[in-house]
Amino acid sequence: MIVRAQQNDTLDLLIWRHLGSTAGIATVLALNPGITSLGAFLPMGKAITLPDRTPAAPVLQMINLWD
């Protein structure tokens, strides 16, 4: 997925906004070589390649014996 940076975006904020977690920052850095040379704030409109979202693991319903 390709997204565009908004004004005053940092890479971790952009990842958090679109993926909901910054756990995949190493993958994003690998997909965007040279992105670290842009500095802390990304230029507005810069296209950033993000990995596709992975589906969340299903939540198991817990049963309590004493309910």
Report field, pTM of the whole predicted structure over 0.85: no
Q: Which helix (H) or strand (E) holds 31?
A: helix 25-31
Report pLDDT digits (tens) over 1-60: 999 999 999 999 999 999 988 888 999 999 999 999 999 999 999 999 999 877 667 788
Is the predicted pLDDT of residue 67 greater than 70, yes or no? no
In terms of pLDDT, which residue wins out, 15 or 67?
15
Q: Please, what's the b/e burial string for 12-48 (b: 16 or more CB within 10 A of its CB; e: otherwise)?
A: eebbeeebeeeebeeebeeebeebeeeeeebeeebeb
